[in-house]
């Protein structure tokens, strides 16, 4: 089936009904549910990891009680093998990852589970027209081709069902023909089927928060940006001479002159009201004109796609709006960031990161972890009188404990759902911490920038910078090897450099030349640098100047490979407003 229906009209429910219909084959004549793991697979394909992880959480909660096993295949989840795929009942994945698994692991049995695929669910299928659509087209074609092979005649794949949905499919007939969907399987629903009619209050928001200042209105499509500018212009027109986006007659004259030099007829009329749009469809001349007007403050409202955030230096008032777009943050997350103290510590930054949405609370395990009798965690949830809380209750507290447990390098919480939460926390938290770093730099809060940089690197590596298992960052070193090295006093890159390869093999129980390979992994690290700061005189009164001298102490490895050690948390540099000099030794 191919279904085009508005957002919120129940497309996810259709997916779930199809899954339940497939699972009904396990119901015996006596009415008992006899589930045989992995024999009838559903493959759910969505364009983004966020959408995939949302479905994973939702379906684990709904179907996990029946013993249905859901497996995530994305770049965020590397802890799986072919056996995990074979035993999975529902595979939730992105097109690129599923294509890679089935294309590059062919000799390792990457296609061995294909015969068990009975249902393929494709979300946001309109993205076939996107540059990323090639991967989706490849995997659907691969499924169709294999389903027609004679040797698959008796398998579930031979009668595989495909359900493709989207809110916007302009050429639904062409798509249905490609998927070989019969005419009765094509369903198109209009805006009248939307349960809650869409309303826009952009103008009211601009009046409340951005009156007299530059504002950006981000839209998902080029057409959306044009339509938003049109509607705002129509609203501004009703104000007559008291247009809130026009400050004075001089601005009005500059806008009138600019509109005459604009080649886009629609834009000419919008500019007169202090409003414009910006997208990839504009010619270079018009783009430069609009950017100039906006930067000078003559154009107060700019409706744009998110591509603008990466191509133009925006006025100070719109910096939080730019960062929200670049890092895909919610408004409340950005608001929490803007309320951070001037001396924002790593702990305070982690509290901000932990205000993200996750699943249910596993209170007993989390409370025990926060009690932390062994002193493993760096930070704790504190109650009255500064004592560690014995009961974890809120979502933020849960995430804070999970993050601290994960960053020890050797998590004590091994529950499957909490492991998935840890992956999500580190991925989303790293993104938020990077945004905090940019925001603090913009606010010239260098202590906050330094601590948020450290937190971002720690979340990226899933390790604190003082973890005893820092060597896990190097290729070839897992938890077992890291613990073995720790037992012989090897905890840092420096001590590993001095360690005896033969002794490494003894404590890890590995054979020659394992120790040599472990030591060679140090070549993947950046060169060692010595940094020296000197204060010098400055001609401007009340200012001082710092000279930063960087001295390379070791040569960088001549390797084109990228490893996990490309971003080690031990090496952390902070930028200052100073001139720099670099000396090579």
pLDDT in tens, 85-108: 888 999 999 999 888 888 765 555
Average of per-residue pLDDT values in the chain: 81
Q: And the tokens for 425?
A: 């926390």
**In which band, very low, low, confident or very high, does the pLDDT at 490 lie, cut at 50, 70 and 90?**
confident
Q: Taking residues 387-412, what's their average pLDDT?
A: 86
Q: Is 448 helix (H, G, I), strand (E, B) or coil?
A: helix
330 vs 523, more confident = 523
pLDDT of residue 452: 92
Q: Is residue 529 over pLDDT 60?
A: yes
**In which band, very low, low, confident or very high, does the pLDDT at 585 lie, cut at 50, 70 and 90?**
very low
pLDDT of residue 20: 92
pLDDT of residue 555: 57
Cα(179)–Cα(143) distance, rounded to whole angstroms? 11
Contacts 24+ apart (CB under 8 A), 497-504: 497/522
Torsions phi, psi for 212 (to 5 deg): 80, 0
**In which band, very low, low, confident or very high, does the pLDDT at 319 lie, cut at 50, 70 and 90?**
low
> Which tens digit of pLDDT belongs to each residue from 213-244?
788 887 777 888 888 898 888 888 878 778 88
Q: Which of 101-110, 157-166, 215-224, 318-327 has the lowest mean pLDDT?
A: 101-110
Name the percent of the chain lying above pLDDT 90: 15
Q: Is 530 helix (H, G, I), strand (E, B) or coil?
A: strand
Q: Is residue 395 over pLDDT 60?
A: yes
pLDDT of residue 582: 36
Under DSSP, the state recorded for 307 is: G
307 vs 41, more confident = 41
Q: Is residue 297 over pLDDT 60?
A: yes
In DSSP terms, which residues pair with 534 in a beta bridge? Answer: 547
Which of 325, 576, 341, 350 is closest to 459 using CA atoms? 350
Q: And the tokens for 25?
A: 């084959």
Q: Taking residues 391-398, what's their average pLDDT?
A: 83
176 vs 579, more confident = 176
Which of 279, 281, 288, 267 is closest to 307 using CA atoms? 279
Q: Is residue 450 over pLDDT 60?
A: yes
Q: Is residue 282 over pLDDT 90?
A: no
Q: Is residue 27 over pLDDT 70?
A: yes
Q: Is residue 563 over pLDDT 90?
A: no
**In which band, very low, low, confident or very high, does the pLDDT at 393 lie, cut at 50, 70 and 90?**
confident
Contact 546/581 with Cβ under 8 angstroms? no
Q: Is 257 helix (H, G, I), strand (E, B) or coil?
A: helix
To the nearest 10 degrees (0 to 180), the angle between helices 331-338 and 416-442 is 50
Cα(521)–Cα(341) distance, rounded to whole angstroms? 40
Q: Taking residues 161-186, what's their average pLDDT?
A: 88
Contact 268/286 with Cβ under 8 angstroms? no
- In the chain, the N- to C-terminal Cα span, in Å, equals 67
> Which tens digit of pLDDT belongs to each residue from 105-127?
555 555 678 888 999 999 988 87
Which distant-in-sequence residues (6+ apart) come within 8 Å of 177 by Cβ? none
Beta pairing class for 41-45 and 90-93: parallel
Sign of the Cα torsion 103, 106, 109, 112 reads positive
**In which band, very low, low, confident or very high, does the pLDDT at 541 lie, cut at 50, 70 and 90?**
low
Q: Taking residues 23-39, what's their average pLDDT?
A: 83
pTM of the model: 0.44
**In which band, very low, low, confident or very high, does the pLDDT at 3 lie, cut at 50, 70 and 90?**
very high
Q: Taking residues 430-437, what's their average pLDDT?
A: 90
**In which band, very low, low, confident or very high, does the pLDDT at 196 lie, cut at 50, 70 and 90?**
low
pLDDT of residue 140: 92
To the nearest 10 degrees (0 to 180), the angle between helices 346-353 and 446-461 is 60
Beta pairing class for 90-93 and 70-73: parallel
493 vs 318, more confident = 493
Which distant-in-sequence residues (6+ apart) come within 8 Å of 311 by Cβ? none
**In which band, very low, low, confident or very high, does the pLDDT at 343 lie, cut at 50, 70 and 90?**
confident
**In which band, very low, low, confident or very high, does the pLDDT at 318 lie, cut at 50, 70 and 90?**
low
Q: Is 506 helix (H, G, I), strand (E, B) or coil?
A: helix
- C-alpha dihedral (307, 311, 313, 318), degrees to nearest 10: 0
285 vs 317, more confident = 285
Q: Which of 18-32, 286-300, 555-569 has the lowest mean pLDDT?
A: 555-569
pLDDT of residue 578: 37
């Amino acid at each position: 089936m191919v279904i085009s229906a508005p957002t919120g009209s129940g497309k996810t429910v259709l997916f779930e009904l199809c899954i339940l219909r497939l699972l009904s084959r396990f119901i015996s004549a006596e009415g008992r549910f006899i589930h045989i793991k992995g024999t009838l697979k559903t493959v759910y394909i969505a364009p983004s990891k966020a959408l995939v992880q949302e479905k994973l959480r939702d379906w684990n909660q709904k179907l996990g009680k029946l013993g249905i096993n859901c497996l995530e295949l994305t770049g965020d989840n590397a802890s799986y093998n072919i056996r995990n795929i074979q035993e999975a009942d529902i595979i939730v994945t992105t097109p690129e990852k599923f294509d890679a698994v089935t294309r590059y692991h062919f000799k390792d049995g990457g296609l061995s589970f294909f015969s068990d695929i009975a249902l393929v669910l494709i979300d946001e299928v309109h993205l076939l027209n996107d540059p990323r659509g090639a991967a989706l087209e490849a995997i659907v074609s691969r499924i169709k081709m294999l389903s027609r092979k004679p040797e698959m005649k008796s398998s579930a794949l031979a009668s595989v069902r495909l359900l493709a949905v989207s809110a916007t499919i302009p050429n639904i007939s062409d798509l249905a023909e490609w998927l070989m969907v019969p005419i009765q399987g094509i369903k198109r629903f209009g805006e009248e089927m939307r349960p809650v009619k869409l309303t826009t209050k952009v103008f009211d928001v601009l009046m409340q928060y951005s009156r007299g200042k530059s504002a950006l209105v981000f839209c998902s499509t080029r057409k959306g940006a044009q339509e938003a500018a049109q509607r705002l212009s129509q609203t501004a027109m009703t104000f007559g001479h008291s247009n809130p986006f026009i400050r004075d007659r001089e601005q009005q004259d500059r806008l009138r002159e600019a509109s005459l030099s604009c080649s886009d007829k629609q834009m000419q009329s919008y500019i007169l009201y202090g409003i414009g749009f910006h997208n990839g469809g504009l010619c270079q001349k018009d783009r430069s004109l609009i950017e100039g007007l906006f930067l000078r403050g003559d154009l107060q409202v700019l409706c744009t796609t998110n591509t603008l955030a990466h191509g133009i230096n925006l006025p100070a008032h719109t910096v939080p709006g730019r960062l929200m777009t670049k890092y895909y943050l919610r408004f409340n997350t950005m608001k929490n960031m803007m309320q951070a103290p001037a001396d924002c510590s790593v702990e305070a930054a982690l509290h901000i990161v932990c205000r993200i949405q996750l699943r249910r609370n596993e209170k007993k395990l989390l409370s025990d972890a926060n009690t932390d009798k062994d002193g493993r965690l760096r930070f704790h949830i504190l109650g009255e009188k500064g004592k560690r809380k014995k009961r974890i209750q809120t979502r933020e507290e849960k995430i804070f404990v999970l993050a601290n447990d994960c960053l020890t390098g050797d998590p004590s919480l091994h529950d499957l759902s909490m492991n998935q939460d840890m992956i999500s926390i580190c991925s989303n938290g790293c993104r938020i911490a990077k945004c905090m770093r940019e925001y603090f730099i913009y606010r010239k809060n260098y202590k906050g920038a330094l601590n948020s940089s450290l937190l971002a690197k720690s979340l990226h590596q899933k390790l604190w910078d003082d973890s005893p298992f820092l060597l896990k960052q190097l290729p070839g070193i897992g938890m077992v090897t890291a613990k073995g090295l720790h037992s012989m006093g090897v905890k840092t890159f420096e001590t590993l450099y001095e360690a005896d390869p033969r002794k490494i093999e003894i404590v890890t129980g590995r054979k020659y030349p394992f120790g040599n390979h472990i030591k060679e992994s140090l070549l993947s690290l950046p060169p060692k640098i010595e940094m020296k700061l000197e204060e010098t005189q400055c001609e401007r009164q009340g200012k001082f100047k710092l000279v930063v001298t960087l001295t390379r102490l070791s040569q960088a490895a001549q390797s084109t490979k990228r490893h996990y050690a490309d971003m080690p948390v031990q090496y952390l540099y902070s930028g200052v407003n100073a001139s720099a000099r670099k000396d090579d030794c």
